[in-house]
Amino acid sequence: MLLQTCLFLLVLSNFCMLGTPRIRRMTGMTAIQGLLLTVLLCIFGHVMLAVAVLLIKGLLLPGLLWRTLKRLPAQALVCPRKVVPLDVLAGMGGLAFSFWLDGRLVMAHGLFPPMLLPLGLATLFCGLILIVGRIKAITQVIGYLVAENGIFLLGMPLMTTGTAWFELALLLDVFVAVFVMGIAINHISDSFASIDVARFRSLRD
Amino acid sequence: MTLFLWTLCLLVAGASLCAILAVCPSVSATARAANLIGALGSATACLLGLVALVCSPWNASLSVHLPWGLPVGACALGLDALSRLFLLPVFGLGFVCAVSGGLSLRHERPEMHNFGAHWLFYFLLLLGLALVMTSRDAVLFMLAWELMSLAPFFLIDFNDGDSKVRDASWVYLTAAHLGAVALMAFFVLLWQTTGQTSLDNVGPALSQATPGLQAALFVLCVLGFGAKAGLAPLHIWLPEAHPAAPSHVSALLSGAMINAGLYGIVRSLGLLSQAGNAQEWWGWSLLFLGLGTGVMGILKATAQSNLKRLLAYSSVENMGLMTMGLGVGYIGHICGNGWIAVMGVSGALLHMCNHAAFKGLLFLCAGEVLHACGTVRMGQLGGVQKKMPLVGIAFAIGAASIACLPPCNGFAGELLIAFSLLDGPSLNGVERQMGLLVSFAGMACISGLAAALYAKAYGITFLGQPRSGFAVNAHPATWRTLWPLSLPAAVCLAGGLAAPAFFKLAVSAAHCALPLSDVLSAQGHNALRQAEHSLTVVSCVGCVGIALVVAILFIRKILLRGRRVKAVPTWSCGFQAASPRVQYTDAAFSEPMARIFGRAMGLKVDVHQDVQLFPQDGFLAIMAPDRLRTKLFTPLFQAVESLCNACKIMQHGKIHLYILYMLATVVGLLIWGLRV
C-alpha cells in the first residue's frame, strides 16, 4: 500500500513539474522526488543506498540547483506559459504509452511489483518531455534528473548487493553531469546574457 | 608484365615530381621544369607501356598479385588481349598528347596556370586508365575508376579564369560521379551475390543469381559505364567538357578515356554471360541504345558551329556505333551465330582503336587552329589551308578516316559492323531479321551524315577565303611543332592499309570478351577468313588508289616543270564583286539537313527581318542547345535542389527539438519492435 502511494505521489510530482512554468517549483519537486525515491528504497530494504540517495538526490542536487537559481535574474526563472498545456498533454500521452508498453514488454513473472514498470517509464518520458519542451538550460538539467529518477526506479527491483555499486556509479555520473551543466549554465549566462537555449540557434551554420 | 609494372612505377614517380613542382612558387623556371618533366616523363612512360604491350605475346593472359593489402579486395592486375587492345590507345594517344601538350603549353603564361598541377593530373589520368584496363579486383577497379574520373576535372579546368570552363568542369564532375554511383551499386550487388571481390572467377558464383538480379546488374552497368562512354541521354558532359579543355586533353579524353566506358560494358557482359544465363534483350537494348546515340550524336554534330563542340558530338556518335557493334555481336552470341558475334564485337573493338587515332588527330588539329587563329568558330574561319597547309592535310586525313572513306582506317571497323548487321536474315524469327536490317539502315544513315558533317568541318574551316580577321591573321605553324600530329595521321592511313593485321588483333580481343563455344568458334574462324579477304581487297584497292594519286601528282609536277603557273581568283560565274561574305557558311551547309531533321537536331532559329519596302539590316542566328540538358537534366537537378533545401527546415538549430527527434526515433523504434 505504501509502495502504491509513493508511486502515485511520484506521478503527481511529475505532472506538477509539467504543469508549472516556474522553475523554483520544479526544483522543489526534484527534492520531493528524491525523498520519494528514498522511501521506495527503504520499502525494498536498501537502507544504506536510501541514505545515499537522500543525501544526493534529496539534498545535494536540489541544493546546487537552488544555488544556481539565486544567481540568475528573476525573468530567467519563468518558462513561456503557452507550452505548459502541451507539456501536460504530452505527459499524459507518455503515461498512456507506458501502460501500453507494460502490456507488451515481456518480463520475468514477479520481478516488478504492480505499477512500478509503467510509472518508471512514465517518469522517464516526463523527464525527456521537460528536456524537449522547456527552453531554459536549467530546466534541461531538471529534465535530465527526472529521467534519471525514472531509470533509477526501473533499476530498483533488479538491485542486489552487486548492482548497488552500479547504481552508485550512476548517481556519481548524474552528479558530475549536474556539476558540469551548472558550470556550463553560468558560462552560457555570461556569454549570451540569457540561459535560453533557443539563442543557440545563432551557432548553427 | 614486369615492363608494365615499371610503366606504372614511372607514372607514379612522374606524378610525385610534378606534385612537388605544383606546390613550388609559380615562376617561369618552375613552369618550364614542370612542362619538361611532365611532357618527357609521360611520353617515356607511354613508350615503355607500348613496348610492354608489344613485347609479350598478344594472346597470352598474364596476371600478378601485388602484396599490398587493400582494406577489402586485393591488388590483382591482369593483362589479356582485351586489356592490351584498350591500352593501345591509352599509351599511343598518351604519348602523342603529352608531346603535343608540352609543345603547345610553352606559349602559355606561367603566372596564369599551375603547370605542375596540370601534369600531375595528366600522369594520374594515365595511371588511372592503365589500372582500370588491367585491374582484376572490384575494389581496385573502383579506386582506379575514381582516379581516372577525378583527374580530368582538374585537366578540363586548366583555363579556370573563364566561367564557362569552370561550369563545364562541374558538369563533367557531376556526370562522372552519377555514373560512379551506379557502378558502386553494381559492384556491391555483385559482391553481395557472389561473396567475393575478385573479377576473375566471379562467373560460376553468378549462375545462382535470379534473372531479376542479373537484369539489375546489366542495367546498372550500362548506366554507370554508359555515362563515361557518353551514351545518350548521359552524354551531356561531352559537348561541354571537350571544347573547354586544352586540346591535348580533349584528344586524350575523347580518344582514350571514354573508351573506359566501353571497356567496362564489354567486361561486365563477359562476366554476366559466363554464368550461362545471358539474356537476348541485353543485346537488343545495347543495339538500339547505340543506334539512338549514333543518330542523335551525328544530328547534333551537324548543327554545331564550334569545331571542338562538333568533334565532341561526333565522339558521341562513334561511341553509339561501337555500342551497336557490341550489341549485335552479343545477339549473335546468344542466337548461336558465330559470324554475327565475331564480326560485331571485333568490329566494335577495331572501330574503338581507329576512333582513338582519328579523333585524337582531329582534336589536336583543332587545337592548332585555335592556337593560330584564336577561335574555332567555323563562321569566323575559312582559308586556313593556305596559311597552315600541314594542319590542313592532317585534318583532311582525319576527316576522311572518320567519314569512313576507304582506304583510311575508319572504313574497316564500320565495314565489319555492317557485315555483322547484314547477316541478320540468317537469324531465326522475322523480328530479329527486321531489327538487324533496320539497324543497318540506321547505321548507313549515320555514316552518310558523318561524311556530310566532315565535308562541312573541313570545307568551312580550311577551304575558301578567310571570313574574318581571325583567319586572316592566323600565324603559320611550323613542322617543329606539328610533328606529333604525323603519328596519328600515319596510324589513320596504316590502320586502313594494314586493316587485316589489326583485325586479327581485334578478333583475339573479341574472343577474350565473349568466350564462344567450339561450334561458334569454328564459324568464327570461317568469318575471320572471309572478312580478312574482304579487308585485304579493300587495302589493295586503297594502295593502288594512293599510288595513282601520287603518280598523278608526280606527273603534274613533271609537266609543269619549267612553266609559269599563274594563280587567279576562282571563277564565280562572272560575278565581279565576290567577297568572303558570299561564301557558303556552316549554317548554310547544315540547312538542307535541318529541313528534314530540324526537330530532331533541336535547332533554335532566331530571325529578325525588316519587312518594310526598302529593307534595312536583318539578323539571323541559329543555335543548337542540347535539349536533353535544358529540358531534362536542368529541371531535374533544380527539383532535387529545391527538395534538399526544403529538408533544411529540419536543421533549425533548436537543440531541444533535436532531442525531440531522438525521442521520437526511440519511441518509434520501440513501437516498431513491439508491434506484433
State the ipTM, two decimals: 0.79
> Is the minimum CB–CB distance between B563 and chain A shorter than 8 Å?
no
Q: Is B27 on the interface with A (CB under 8 A)?
A: no
pLDDT in tens, B603-625: 777 777 777 788 777 777 777 78
Residues 105-164, chain A: which have Cβ within 8 Å of B?
105, 128, 131-135, 140
Chain B environment of A132 (Cβ under 8 Å) = 656-657, 659-660, 663
Size of interface A-B (CB pairs under 8 A): 33
Q: Which parts of chain A have pLDDT scores under 50? A: none
Intervals of chain B under pLDDT 70: 69-71, 275, 517-521, 676
For testing contact with chain B, the best of A132, A138, A139, A151 (most B CBs within 10 A): A132
Distance from the Cα of A119 to chain B's closest Cα (Å) equals: 16
DSSP state of B379: G
Among all chains, which residue has been given the C-alpha cell 569545331?
Answer: B307
Per-residue pLDDT tens over the stretch B638-658? 999 999 999 888 887 777 788
Say whether B660 and A132 touch across the interface (CB within 8 A). Answer: yes
* Pairwise CB contact (< 8 Å): B674 & A104: yes
**Cβ atoms of B574 and B455 closer than 8 Å:** no
Boundaries of every domain in chain B: 295-555, 631-674
Question: Among B317, B347, B351, B594, which residue's Cα sits nearest to residue B454?
Answer: B317
Q: Pull the grid cell for residue B479.
A: 613542322
> CB within 8 A of B91, min separation 6: which ones?
B7, B46, B47, B49, B50, B53, B130
Which residues of A fall within a CB distance of 8 Å from B655? Answer: 197, 200
| Yes or no, beta carbons of A140 and B656 under 8 Å apart | yes
Q: Which residue has the cell 599490398?
A: B68
- Which residues lie across from B79 on neighbouring strands? B62
Question: Of the candidates A128, A197, A202, which has its C-beta nearest B655's C-beta?
Answer: A197
Look at residue B488 in the predicted model and tell me its pLDDT: 95
pTM of the predicted protein model:
0.81
Query: What confidence score (pLDDT) does residue A180 get?
Result: 63
Q: How far is CA B565 from the centre of its chain?
A: 44
- Burial of residue B233 (CB within 10 Å: 0-12, 13-18, 19+) is middle
Q: Assess contact for A118 and A99: CB atoms under 8 A.
A: yes
Check if B654 contacts A (Cβ < 8 Å): yes
Return the pLDDT at B61.
83
**In this predicted structure, what is the pLDDT of residue B658?**
82
What is the model's pLDDT at position B228? 94
Looking at residue B180, its pLDDT comes to 95
The beta-carbon neighbor of A132 closest among B651, B656, B670 is B656
Question: HEC profile for B497-548?
Answer: HCHHHHHHHHHHHHHHHCCCCHHHHHHHHHHHHHHHHHHHHHHHHHHHHHHH
B661, closest residue in chain A (CA to CA): A132
Q: What pLDDT sits at residue B151?
A: 95
